[in-house]
Amino acid sequence: MKNPAGFTSMTEMTEIADMETIPGESNNQLALTTPEAHPIKRRKKKSMVWEYFTIENVSAGCRRAYCKRCKQSFAYSTGSKVAGTSHLKRHIAKGTCRALLRGQGQDNNQFITPYNPKMGGSEPPKRRYRSPSSPFIPFDQDRCRHEIARMIIMHEYPLHIVEHPGFIAFVQSLQPQFDKMSFNTVQGDCVATYLREKQSLMKFIEGIPGRFCLTLDMWSSNQTLGYVFITGHFVDSDWKLHRQVFNVVMEPYPDSHSALSHAIAACLSDWSLEGKLFSLTFNHPLSEAGLENLRPLLCVKNPLILNGQLLIRNCIARTMSSMAKDVLGAGQEIIKKIRDSVKYVKMSESHDDKFIQVKNQLQVPSEKSLFLDNQTRWNTTYQMLAAASELKEVFDCLDTYDPDYKLAPSMEDWKLAETLCSFLKPLFDAASILTTTTLPTIITFFYEVWKIHVDLGRSITSEDPFISNLAKSMQEKIDKYWKDCSLVLAMAVVMDPRFKMKLVEFSFTKIYSEDAPTYIKTVDDGIHELFLEYVALPLPLTPTYAEEVNGANNGKTNESHYGNLLSDHGLTDFDVYIMETNSQQMKSELDQYLEESLLPRVQEFDVVGWWKLNKMKYPTLSKMARDILSIPVSAAAPESIFDITDKQLDEYRSSLRPETVEALICAKDWLHFGSSDVSNALVKMEF
């Protein structure tokens, strides 16, 4: 039965609407004769099929649709009868067009997603039509696999996610053609991504003119295996500081004397850094035998570099975390009382409302908000105590508005909490510098450590036994750090033109009193010794220059004698002669720098940038400054600065192969910095 418009079904009406505005045809040519007196008004939009078909007249009253790809023809209209567009869609969407298959890699279902009852849902999905302006994007299985690998790496998803039914259903709803992936497939893709990124990073560091500093962070696992996270710190040719994870080395016996030395040797070999290692910073406790295994890595690979004194055995983040644990341990009872009070307020919306009501009535000026601490991160406990102390008046009066509240700390308790905060605040301020996105320089921590040292010295003289005893316990740890690291910290300060030796002299006088001249001389001797070693060390050819020299020698065989003369071994005696005759002149470069007046002390000062601007004035000293200023003071990652527990690899990653663990962790670090200026120079993704 026909409807009033003369069509036999709604399907025919829909197909007629699909034929509107055929490219190359006018609206008058497309007008269809109907039994009715009033013509059908056509909508002004195209069907997607006309991007792939053209209409041609083959005889009077007969037109056919021709595929633009394979030139196959299809019935279109004969007289007033129109064939519709369903068969044209099937030609494109169902893969019968061979030319389209060859050009799009089996991309034969871009338009209609078939309904799969196993995927769930109450009804089949609707037809999906692209607008005329939307581009046709062919499906690429390899690129999808590449992006899934990146996703897993960047967000630390388990590799088995590709086998989870929910993930499979989700992907199939987006693209039914996507082939399901196995654990082994995605593991291989992640490793391949890691290898591509590693190759890009290796090409970048080949051109690094200076030396490299390494930090070692030992993680444990539930299998008693150790994982050494090795991070490289260096300054590039544009004088920008970089921090990149180099390796994650599994050590089966993490407590052995050779665990760290084995991991470092593997890293140096992997990245071709032999002879370029400047300093080591680590947080894993080592015996003297373990330290002796590390010293040769600096002394042999880097001859004459202060006889291995650039081996920094203490990480400042771990030192401060250990001191914070002393504070939290000394005040654990009052901390529990305050934590319970905060918990009472925050665990109930009505209690929280009453607390805010009391605060407003008392007009307490504090803008801090209460929150429960994470007991594995000491900064959250400090912030909880600091916020609660500012709101102590509210806690004291809360029981008058809420009779159920019976946990209010006493005035003595609040006084003790404020004492704990006074010990924690300097540690918190110093450690927070390490969590900033910009890389902090070692100079900052000379002042921070010195300030903590001086403050604890004053606290020891307190008449309050609680304060005095706590200060003694904390000072033992900061004293050990100062003893091991003060030389390196002081040398970095000397490289700051705002301070030079003056801040060292001032600070040491405060700490050592009458013994200060001895320690000041140690720093002065050390900085001069290191400078002379930089004068004596031959400057290696950069890869670019070496290629140019080799190319010139290959093109001029008659001048091979001169090429040999200019090689690394040809003028060794001449290098010694230059060093001996110019040692006084080169030494005066350092003395000239130290004798010049200090720069104005501005807070925002780019020390590395200053040396970049003055590298022509101080050619040798600037190289030494570049390496010193890249020395890291912390081996912990920024997100782990405040941890008071040892880092442990989670159970899932511990179950993976060591090579896979390294690939996932390193690639995440390299991809994470892909959008920054630093990593743009390092990594270029291949599509």
Question: Which H or E run includes 312?
Answer: strand 311-312
Of 117, 94, 116, the closest CA to residue 106 belongs to 94
Judge whether residue 41 has pLDDT over 90.
no
Query: What mean pLDDT value characterizes the chain?
Result: 80
Q: Whole-angstrom Cα distance, residue 429 to residue 603?
A: 16
Q: Which is higher by pLDDT, 365 or 110?
A: 365
Structure confidence by residue, pLDDT tens digits, 440-478:
678 889 999 999 999 999 999 999 999 999 999 999 999
Pairing between β-strand 212-219 and β-strand 62-67 as defined by DSSP bridges: unpaired
Q: Which residues contact 652 (CB under 8 A, 6 or more apart)?
A: 158
The pLDDT value given to residue 639: 87
Q: Name the percent of the chain lying above pLDDT 70.
A: 74
Rounded to whole angstroms, how far apart are CA atoms 337 and 343?
A: 10
Query: What's the rounded Cα separation, in Å, for the pair 601 and 593?
Result: 17
Per-residue pLDDT tens digits for 594-611: 999 999 988 788 999 999
Q: Which of 273-287, 453-467, 539-553 has the highest mean pLDDT?
A: 453-467
Whether 681 has a pLDDT exceeding 60, the answer reads no
pLDDT band with cut points at 50, 70 and 90 for residue 255: confident
Q: What is the pLDDT of residue 202?
A: 94
Question: What's the pLDDT band for 62 if we cut at 50, 70, 90?
Answer: confident
Please tell me the predicted confidence (pLDDT) of residue 284. Answer: 76
Which pLDDT value is given to residue 133? Answer: 52
Work out the average pLDDT over 142-164: 94
Residue 565's pLDDT is 45
Kindly provide the b/e burial profile for residues 456-473, where b requires at least 16 CB atoms within 10 angstroms of the residue's own CB. beebeeeeeeebeebbeb
Q: What angle in degrees, to the nearest 10, is found between the helix axes of 411-433 and 442-460?
A: 160
Q: What is the pLDDT of residue 60?
A: 80
**Structure confidence at residue 50 (pLDDT):** 79
What is the pLDDT, as a whole number, of residue 436?
Answer: 78
Q: Phi/psi class of residue 239: alpha, beta or left (left: φ > 0; alpha: ψ in -120 to 50)? A: left
Model pLDDT for residues 350-384, shown as the tens digit of each residue: 999 999 999 998 888 888 889 899 999 999 999 99
* Lowest model confidence (mean pLDDT) among 148-152, 533-537, 553-557: 553-557
pLDDT in tens, 63-92: 888 888 788 888 888 877 777 787 887 787
Rounded distance, CA 470 to CA 327, Å? 7
Could you give the CA distance from residue 352 to residue 371 in angstroms, rounded to a whole number? 11
Candidate from 91-100, 151-160, 490-499, 653-662 with smallest mean pLDDT: 91-100
Q: Are 572 and 564 in contact (CB under 8 A)?
A: no
**Structure-model confidence comparison of residues 163 and 18, the more confident one:** 163
Inform me whether the pLDDT recorded for 687 exceeds 70: no
452 in Cβ contact with 478 (< 8 Å): yes
Candidate from 104-108, 333-337, 676-680 with smallest mean pLDDT? 676-680
| pLDDT number for residue 187 | 95
Q: What is the 3-state secondary structure (H, E, C) of 625-651?
A: HHHHCCCCCCCCCHHHCCECCCCECCH
Q: 667 pLDDT exceeds 70?
A: yes
- More reliable by pLDDT, 89 or 570: 89
| pLDDT 10s digits, 294-327 | 777 764 344 445 555 677 778 899 999 999 999 9
| C-alpha span between 21 and 13 (Å, rounded) | 15
Over residues 395-442, the pLDDT tens digits come to 998 888 888 888 889 999 999 999 999 999 999 999 999 887 666 678
**DSSP 3-state assignment of 308?**
helix
pLDDT tier at 641, thresholds 50, 70, 90: very high
Mean per-residue pLDDT, 671-687: 42
Is the whole-model pTM more than 0.75? no
The answer to whether the beta carbons of residues 670 and 197 sit under 8 Å apart is yes
Q: Give the strand order in the sheet containing 53-59.
A: 53-59, 62-67, 73-78, 81-82
**Residue 10, amino acid:** M
Residue 98: strand, helix, or coil: helix
Pairing of strands 53-59, 62-67: antiparallel
Average pLDDT on 537-562 reads 45
